[in-house]
Structures are given as structure tokens and as C-alpha cells.
Structure 1
Amino acid sequence: MKFIWVLSGKRIKRGLMLIVALFFALGIFYAEQQNIEVFMPLDPGPAAVYSVETDKKQIALTFDISWGEERAGPILDVLEQKGIKKATFFLSSPWAETHPDIVKRIVDMGFEVGSHGHRHENYSTLSEDQIRTQIRKAHHILSGLTKTEPNLIRFPNGDFDKRVLKIADDLGYTAVQWDTDSLDWMNPGKEKIVQRVTSKAHPGDIVLMHASDSSKQLHEALPEIIDDLKKKGYQFVTVSELIAGAEVELNPVD
């Protein structure tokens, strides 16, 4: 009887160890699942578009305009001379309201118009009501001038936070940033602008440029940029076309 009791005790001990091990494994699995939910939320919320994932040699040239009247014309001239029929212009609504003739030319040339907001200030510093007011006011003005309701927005100074993205999304807007920044507003010289854009450009890229009067050298650099990208086989598309035809690279805000 003693031998049988010892053998049964060993079996019981093994069984208890197996049960403990099972509960330990289940605990680790649960903890890992909880970590996944914390660090990889199922719904991260609205995010800004910086570029798209694509094998196609497509690129979107974008131009911000918030002030001035001297640089937009020469830049449009270059686009016309080079046969570029697809580009996206992000217009500040006060500027657009005071330059309807230039806005009309942009629209007549077939270019896409997005919103650059109303007052040119950092939206992350505004209250939620102020953010809504700025976006709605710009929407009303740009819709009236272009006869088309914009659905893309690039916030002034590229500044935003989670609140700004959420409000823009609620109002039917997609936030658009950029992957290649020409830094044309710094006026570093034509060659440096050309080199910066052409060396960084890639399929699915969104390129930031400016047609405000602060950008004094872009109209000189733009012909060489276009020629170089054409030689490399790039097709010029609007931001909307780029987004519609490829997987979007989204950058949510922490």
C-alpha cells in the first residue's frame, strides 16, 4: 500500500504542476493581448497623409499659397509651358478671396484646389470651436470661388494635433502633409532647390512647394525639377488621384 501511495502522490504532483503551468501560460497570453490593445489600438483615429505606397512612378506636386501676388503667375506659367496638367494647390482663403483672378486661372488649368485654412496660424493653439470656425470659413470661401467643395486640407505651417485631425475629419476633410520638402521659402538658390527635390523624390511622394511671394526662386528651379522627374519616368498626378490609386502612408499623432 505504501508503494501505491507514493506513486499516486507523484502523479498528483505532476498534475498540479501541469495545471500551474497552464494558468501561467494563459496569464502571459492575456497580458500580451492587453499590451497589443494598448500599443496597437484597433482604431487610432484620423491621421495625416504624407505619401502613398505604390510601385507606380507617380508623384504629386503641391503648392501652398497664403500671401503675395508676384510668384503664383510665373509658377503657373512654368506648369503650362511644361505641359503639367495635374498638381494640387492649397489656398489660404483670405488670399483666394483677394486674388480671384489667380484662383480662376488655377481652376481653369485643371489643377486641384485644397484648403490651407483661413487665418494663417497654428491650429493646435486654438480651441475646438475656433478650429471648426477656421475650417468652415475657408471651406465656404473656396467653394464659392472654385465652384467645387474642397476635401483636402493642409494646415497652416503644417501644424496640427489629434483634436485638429478629428475636427477636420468630422468636417469631411483629409489632412495632407508631405514627404519631400523643397524648402523653397528659404531661397537657398535654384540649384539647391532642384537637388533637394530630385534627390528625395520617390514613387508615391507628395512634394511641398510654395507659390507665395516668400518663394522667390522656385519659378527658376521648377523647370529643371520637372524635366528631371520626367526623364526618370514620373507621372504627375493630383493628391486625390495619388490617394485613390495606392495604399496611403498615414502618420497618426501621439
Structure 2
Amino acid sequence: MIMMVINKNKLKKIIVFILIVLFIIAGIIYTVKNKTLDTMDILDLAGNNQPYTMGTNENSNYVAITCNVDLGWEDEYIQKILEILDKENVKITFAVTGKWAEKNEDKLLQMKEKGHEIANHGYQHLNYDTLSYDENLNQIKKSKDIIDSITKTESRFFQAPSGAFGDETVKAANDLGYICYKWDVDTIDWMDKDNPQNIINRIKKKDIKNGSIVLMHPTNATATCLGDIISIIRDKGYVPGKLSDVFSK
């Protein structure tokens, strides 16, 4: 008799627990279906404490091309990339470190004058996910001050080097007014610096969608196959452009 009471009590607790879980799941489904979201993922529901991997404009018909310029060994290919972009009439986003910008004002101004967008890539190429809030704030703000001063514009987007975002990185960047972003299409061109066909084959296999963010670097292979990357995006029915083209205003 005692065992029956205990079993009934346990059963009641299990039923209550299951009902609570089902209630929570139903609430999430209802929220996702009924809340108007500007973004194509549900980062807003999570408190926006993670960087965006895609744009937030559902009807942009754009794919953003981003080019990270940070360590300096890629500088010799920047001019070729700019020439190809001119030829293709495409404007992209260059994410630069403040340290690089300090030493390459002429190249940074050339990017801007050609209509390309400049994003903040931190001051130094560090592991930002290991830094404290104050350290992140100092690195990002130092870079912001340098970039914005040179370009005479206010940078809107921030990407941590290597995409290494910690919670304190996102908080610091948000506090400085930045939209944090990563990518959903990686060329991995740093691994195939002299193998453009490998990059082309890789991009062809990617699930490029409206609002996708393509990551590349100014390597020899990237400069060689950039025209092909642009063609792949266009063949999928999208317009290659900047981060501001895929994010809501």
C-alpha cells in the first residue's frame, strides 16, 4: 500500500514536469510564429548576446561579401581585389584592425573612396573571447577611434579576429553601438592561399541564401577567383554587396 502511494506521488510529479516542459515549448513556438522578427535567425529571443551569422533584412536579395584585413601579409593583393570589384561594379565590406589602419591610411581611404564599407576588426589580432569586458572595450574603441577618424564616417559593424566572440566581447561592442557579425559562408582562403580552384569548388557547395555573409581575405587565390565568387552569388539569384545591404537600417 505504501509503495502504491509513493508510486502515485512520483507519477504525479512526472506528469507535472512533462506538462511544464510542454507548456514552455508551446510558448516558444507561439512566440517564434507570432513575433515579427527582422532577423532570419532567432538571436533576438536569446537576448542578442551572440553575433549575427546572417543579415537581418529578410527581403534584401543581397549576399554580403566581407574581407578581413588584419595581419598585413595580404596587403599586396588588396589592389588587385579593388580592381576586380571595380570591374564587377560590386561594393563590399572590408573589416580592418586599427593597427593595420594606422599604418595603411592610404589603402583604407582608397577602399572608402571606391564606395566600400569599413568595419571594425579590433585593434590587434588577439583572442577576444579570453579578454575581460574592459580589455575588449579598450581594443574595440581604440580601433573605432582610428578607423572613424581616418574615414570621417562612423563604423557600424564589428567582427572579432578569428570570429572569437566571448560574452564580454559582444557586450563591449554593443555598448559602443556596433552590430556584431560572423559569417555563414567561409571561403577558408587562408588555407588555400595559392589554390583558387579549391575555393571555387568550396563556394559552389555552400548553401548561399538571401542575407548570407561570405568571409574572405586578400590572398593570392582570393584575388584570382573573386570574379568567380561573384558569379556564383549572381547565378544563385542574389546581388553581391556590403553588410549594410543585408542588415535592416
Q: TM exceeds 0.5?
A: yes
Question: How far apart are residue 125 of structure 1 and its match?
Answer: 1.3
Residue 180 of structure 1: aligned partner: 185
Query: After superposition, what is the alpha-carbon deviation per residue over 1:74-119, rounded to whole angstroms, capped at 9, x for unaligned?
Result: 11111111121x2111011111111111111100111111100001
Which of 185, 201, 205 lines up with 1:199 in the alignment? 205
Amino acid in structure 2 at the alignment position of 1:203: N
Residue 105 of structure 2: aligned partner: 100
Residue 48 of structure 1: aligned partner: 51
Mapping of residues 1-254 of structure 1, within 5 Å: 27=16, 31-32=20-21, 44-52=47-55, 54=58, 57-66=61-70, 67-68=72-73, 69-84=75-90, 86-187=91-192, 189-200=195-206, 201-211=208-218, 215-244=219-248
Task: Point out where structure 1 has 5 or more consecutive residues left out of the alignment.
Answer: 1-19, 246-254
Task: Point out where structure 2 has 5 or more consecutive residues left out of the alignment.
Answer: 1-8, 32-43
Question: Aligned partners of 2:235, 2:17: CA distance in 1, in Å?
Answer: 55
Q: CA separation of 1:43/1:106 partners in 2, compared to 1, >3 Å: closer, same or farther?
A: same
Question: Aligned partners of 1:64, 1:35: CA distance in 2, in Å?
Answer: 41
RMSD value over aligned CA atoms?
2.9
Amino acid in structure 2 at the alignment position of 1:47: Q
Residue 37 of structure 2: aligned partner: none
Q: Partner of 1:51: helix, strand, or coil?
A: coil
Question: Aligned partners of 2:45, 2:237: CA distance in 1, in Å?
Answer: 38
Query: After superposition, what is the alpha-carbon deviation per residue over 1:194-232, rounded to whole angstroms, capped at 9, x for unaligned?
Result: 121233122221000012xxx221111111222232233
Question: How far apart are residue 130 of structure 1 and its match?
Answer: 0.9
Question: Aligned partners of 2:66, 2:139: CA distance in 1, in Å?
Answer: 21
Q: Look at both structures and tell me which one has the larger radius of gyration over its CA atoms.
A: 1
Question: How far apart are residue 30 of structure 1 and its match?
Answer: 7.7
Q: Determine what percentage of the aligned residue pairs are the same residue.
A: 30
The count of residues paired between Structure 1 and Structure 2 equals 219
TM-score, normalised to structure 1, is: 0.77
Name the structure where strand makes up a greater proportion of residues: 1
Question: Aligned partners of 1:207, 1:243: CA distance in 2, in Å?
Answer: 14
Question: Aligned partners of 1:108, 1:139: CA distance in 2, in Å?
Answer: 18
Question: How far apart are residue 46 of structure 1 and its match?
Answer: 2.5
